[in-house]
């Protein structure tokens, strides 16, 4: 009787030990998967202080990417409300998947297009707050690396437009999108870029300049039915 009880106790202890190992493996897998696939984990690795609407809008953009496979959006925050922060979070999240399994969309080539006066600040903010190192075009023949930031006034020139027709991007971001219309060279640049990328994000504090035709052109250039994010 005592022998049977001792055997039963030993069997129970072994069962508990196996269960503990099983739960440890499950927990480790959960934490690893959360860090790999949960977009909110990006907040842990960026030097940013977020406000609720930024978290909400970031979640909307990620949900759109998961739903349709590509983000086509206009981010129309007023000046000072954090357009750059939101797009930086998105870039970091999409780039972090570069070593993920093949079934997760991969992003490697990113192009940011800004007016020349905004470029240094935009580049600095990406570096300081997100650890993202964007390179400006080098002197010489037109060339853009995988992580590039360039002036809109530079890229709209003929030699650059010709080069851009040969390049594909995973994500293109265009700042101060209200400068784009169907009557200027910026409109031609954006019309080209939007066809050469999977994800396209437009940023502006003043999406509508009072001229409906221009506003319609901007929206249709992003997508037939783009996601509009505003505060």
Q: Is position 22 within any domain?
A: yes
d(CA 170, CA 76): 22
CATH number at residue 155: 3.40.50.10810
DSSP assignment of 127-146, as one string? HHHH---PBPPPSSS----S
Residues 182-195 pLDDT 10s: 889 999 999 999 99
User: 161 and 80 share a domain?
Assistant: yes
User: 84 and 160 share a domain?
Assistant: yes
- Write the Ramachandran bin of 131: left for phi over 0, alpha for psi from -120 to 50, otherwise beta: left
d(CA 174, CA 155): 12
Residues 15-64 pLDDT 10s: 666 766 766 666 555 444 444 555 555 555 556 677 888 889 999 999 99
Question: What pTM did the predictor assign?
Answer: 0.78
pLDDT of residue 112: 98
Q: Is position 11 within any domain?
A: yes
d(CA 114, CA 105): 26
User: 96 and 7 share a domain?
Assistant: no
Nearest CA to 194 among 224, 150, 151? 224
d(CA 79, CA 77): 6
Q: Is position 156 within any domain?
A: yes
User: 224 and 117 share a domain?
Assistant: yes
User: 132 and 209 share a domain?
Assistant: yes
User: 25 and 96 share a domain?
Assistant: no
> Predicted confidence band at 138 (pLDDT cuts at 50, 70, 90)?
confident
């Amino acid at each position: 009787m005592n022998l049977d009880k001792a055997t039963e106790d030993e069997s129970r202890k072994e069962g508990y030990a196996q269960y503990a190992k099983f739960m440890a493996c499950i927990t480790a897998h959960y934490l690893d998967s959360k860090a790999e696939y949960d977009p909110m984990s990006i907040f842990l690795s960026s030097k940013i202080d977020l406000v609720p609407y930024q978290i909400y809008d970031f979640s909307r953009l990620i949900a759109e990417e998961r739903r349709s496979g590509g983000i086509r959006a206009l981010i129309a925050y007023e000046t000072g409300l954090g357009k750059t922060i939101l797009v930086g979070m998105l870039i970091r999240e999409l780039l972090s998947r570069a070593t993920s399994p093949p079934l997760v969309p991969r992003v490697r080539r990113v192009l940011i297009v800004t007016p020349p006066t905004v470029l240094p600040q935009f580049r600095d903010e990406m570096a300081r707050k997100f650890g993202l190192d964007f390179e400006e075009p080098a002197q010489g023949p037109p060339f853009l690396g995988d992580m590039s930031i360039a002036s809109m006034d530079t890229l709209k020139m003929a030699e650059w437009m010709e080069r851009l027709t040969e390049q594909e991007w995973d994500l293109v971001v265009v700042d101060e999108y209200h400068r784009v219309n169907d009557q200027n060279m910026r409109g031609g640049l954006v019309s080209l870029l939007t066809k050469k990328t999977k994800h396209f994000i437009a940023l502006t504090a003043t999406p509508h300049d009072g001229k409906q035709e221009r506003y319609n052109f901007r929206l249709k250039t992003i997508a037939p039915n783009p996601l509009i994010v505003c505060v």
